[in-house]
């Protein structure tokens, strides 16, 4: 088959060692494209996987003061190749690219066997504009399902507010259902930057009585 990013054939990647290890997972990338993505590695904040330190980072300590115990896993760094990927996938709307990380995502997500997955939703207006939720695409391509428990309100124009006012306002997410919630939830997003979105959703579920809430993103 051909690499989803550059179109080169990936056939040469089927080496003897692949055969020997019975690796029959599909390769969606050629080895050249594959090597442009960078995994986070071993040296990172134990709570949020921020690189460059091995103790709890400043941000995680701040979240702690807000009553949020950060418990986040991510796979890749947000390097240039990853920025390019998301620009094609999200903004050009190339839905086929949801498969690019399917094998590596499947490997990670299967570690959360007793968790129900919840994907960070888009607002209705954004969903209409993009045509798909990019996080749902990634999770489905990896072969997993998720529960539709979380909604997002339309974002109001916030030009009249300054930054701190915006940060202080309520999060735009809400729990859709009145049915009992699962005991354990993994909240999944595509990219963790400040962690503001995903950690506030974590707290939303915790306040609703979910005992075990962890968070996960493809990229940190
Ligand atoms: Zn390629
Ligand atoms: Zn941290």
d(CA 57, CA 196): 15
Dist. CA 81 → ligand 1 center (Å):
12
Dist. CA 6 → ligand 1 center (Å):
4
The closest ligand to the CA of 37 turns out to be: 1
- Indicate if the pLDDT at residue 50 is higher than 90: yes
- Indicate if the pLDDT at residue 68 is higher than 60: yes
d(CA 156, CA 49): 32
Q: Which residues contact 72 (CB under 8 A, 6 or more apart)?
A: 47, 48, 49, 192, 195, 198, 199, 214, 215, 216, 217, 220
Biggest CA pair distance of the chain? 62
Which residues are close to ligand 2, an ion, with C-beta < 5 A? 45, 47-48, 50, 57, 60
For residue 24, what pLDDT is reported? 47
The closest ligand to the CA of 33 turns out to be: 1
**Cβ burial, residue 209 (10 Å; 0-12/13-18/19+):** exposed
Share of the chain above pLDDT 70, in %: 86
DSSP assignment, residue 57? Answer: -
State mean pLDDT over 172-197.
95
The residue with greater pLDDT, 157 or 200, is: 200
Dist. CA 95 → ligand 1 center (Å):
17
Nearest Cα neighbor of 118 from 196, 214, 185 is 185
Nearest Cα neighbor of 105 from 175, 37, 154 is 37
Dist. CA 9 → ligand 2 center (Å):
39
Chain segment 13-34, per-residue pLDDT in tens: 556 655 555 554 567 999 999 9
């Amino acid at each position: 088959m051909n690499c989803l990013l550059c179109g080169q054939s990936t056939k040469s990647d089927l080496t003897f060692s692949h055969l020997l290890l019975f690796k029959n997972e599909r390769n969606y990338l050629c080895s050249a494209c594959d090597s442009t993505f960078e995994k986070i590695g071993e040296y990172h904040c134990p709570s949020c996987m921020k690189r460059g330190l091995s103790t709890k980072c400043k941000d995680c300590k701040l979240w702690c003061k807000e009553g949020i115990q950060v418990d986040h896993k991510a796979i890749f760094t947000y390097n240039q190749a990853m920025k390019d990927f998301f620009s094609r996938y999200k903004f050009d709307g190339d839905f086929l690219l949801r498969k690019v990380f399917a094998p590596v995502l499947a490997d990670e997500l299967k570690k959360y066997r007793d968790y129900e997955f919840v994907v960070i939703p888009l607002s209705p207006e954004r969903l209409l504009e993009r045509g798909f939720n990019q996080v749902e695409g990634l999770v489905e391509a990896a072969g997993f399902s998720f529960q539709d428990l979380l909604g997002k309100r339309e974002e109001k124009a916030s030009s009249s507010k300054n930054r701190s006012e915006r940060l202080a306002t309520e999060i735009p997410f809400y729990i859709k259902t009145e049915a009992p919630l699962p005991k354990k939830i993994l909240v999944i997003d595509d990219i963790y930057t400040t962690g503001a979105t995903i950690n506030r959703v974590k707290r939303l579920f915790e306040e609703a009585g979910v005992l075990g809430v962890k968070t996960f993103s493809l990229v940190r």
